[in-house]
Amino acid sequence: MKQENDNNIVLAIDQKPKLGQGILLSIQHLFAMFGATVLVPALTGMSPAIALISSGIGTLVFILITKGKVPSYLGSSFAFINPIIAMKALEANPTSGIEVGSFLVGSFLVGVTYSIVALLIAKAGTKWLMNLLPPIVVGPVIMVIGLGLASTAINMVTNNPSGEYDLTYVTIGFVTLIITIVTAIFSKGFLSVIPILVGIIGGYLFSISMGVVDLEPVKQASWFMVPPFTVPFIDYQPSLSWYVVFLMIPVTIVPIAEHIGHQLVLSKVVNKDLIEDPGLDRSMLGDGVATMIAACLGGPPNTTYGENIGVLAITRAFSIYVFIGAACFAILFGFCGKISALLSTIPSPVMGGVSILLFGIIASSGLRMLIENKVDFKIKRNLIISSVILIIGIGGAAIHIGNMFSLEGMALASIIGVALNLILPGREIISFKDMFDEE
């Protein structure tokens, strides 16, 4: 990687900021991750407070495992929204055979998968991973995630809690969407990095003016509150089923690819080859351990956040101590009863409004991956792989064998995409190191 001028760096990775400077920079990173991190539990029926706490603890563990050399923040992963919603629906159905807490077992297995991949990278390098997950597989799978969530966003915007069409909800949803878009397009500096948070705040204030927000829970809540942690063997008895394995594990293709991309971009931003030192195996392991901890607390799987990388690029303050501060603030916020109550009063059309843009961006980022990697759709194998992944994933195709085995939707599409890439003739062998140098 070419070396660049470091004169404009405000804080080096190992440099301690002054107290006031550090607090402000930490809060800035907290704002950057806040909107997306609480949106995932809001959509899946989990506790936003626990998501905040688990993201803070996960970030601290990540920093420890990477020896304080990778300035990253870990937040809730969007890749697992649909699988978690599907499993929670089955848990609520007593005839499904899916035990309560199965989605958390699945989240824990996601962390285990990250850790196994990290071990394989440490032992066998990275070339195998890039050959297994080329852009022609990962790009369409990412598109499936965004497009598969489209109906969720629209339902949140158009339907009230009774399931009926509500024009007030539609108005709130689209006002939230407009605020988010305007912030993303026209704002400068730090505001351009947090359009989701600005959209949620703006939509929430508009909702208050429309009379659909009840602030009484916020008034009654205490400042300190222990959130509803869901701990295995205490709150539920973990049970493993093939359904959980095949619904969650294949989806890890996306956050693994996302993790690699973030490390490449972050290396460019901080002007250090983080793939080599501390190593992709360590950062992947940090992601895995953080996700396992989150699952044991009742939180969603974690992933590194591009929003915080954007903040780094703007501020040029790379200090790892800033991320430690942001993680500590997230944990404190999670134990604040009034903040938890405030989050619970956000109307669904506000979350739906920002989700329209956010889920669309997820789908578009898959398309962007194909374009940036110059995937040629004149080649039949590329056209076939992407077409099959998109239709199987968005169409909700499924394979059921009794109550023992089930594979469907995005998980099925991911596995078939990997298989087609390995089986069809004309596959190019891609070196991870070559890819890094080209970037």
Instruction: Give yes or no for a contact between 99 and 91, defined as CB atoms under 8 angstroms apart.
Output: yes
Segment 84-110 shows an average pLDDT of 85
pLDDT digits (tens, 9 = 90+) for 209-268: 999 998 999 999 899 999 999 999 999 999 888 888 888 898 898 888 889 888 888 988
Share of the chain above pLDDT 90, in %: 47
Q: What interhelical angle do 48-65 and 19-44 show, nearest 10?
A: 130
Each domain of the chain, given as residue ranges in start order, spans: 19-377
- Per-residue confidence band for 282, with pLDDT thresholds at 50, 70 and 90: very high
pLDDT over 50 at 191, yes or no: yes
- Per-residue confidence band for 152, with pLDDT thresholds at 50, 70 and 90: confident
**Of residues 185, 205, 210, the one with CA closest to residue 195:** 185
Question: What are the CA-CA distances from residue 366 to residues 114, 370, 372 (Å)?
Answer: 21, 7, 10
Question: What are the CA-CA distances from residue 40 to residues 127, 281, 313 (Å)?
Answer: 32, 26, 25
Across the chain, mean pLDDT equals 88
- Per-residue confidence band for 436, with pLDDT thresholds at 50, 70 and 90: very low
pLDDT digits (tens, 9 = 90+) for 325-344: 999 999 999 999 998 899 88
Segment 362-375 shows an average pLDDT of 89
**Range with top average pLDDT, 71-80, 94-103, 127-136:** 71-80
* DSSP run (H or E) holding 177: helix 167-186
Q: Name the DSSP letter for residue 336.
A: B
Model-level pTM greater than 0.85?
no
- Per-residue confidence band for 72, with pLDDT thresholds at 50, 70 and 90: very high
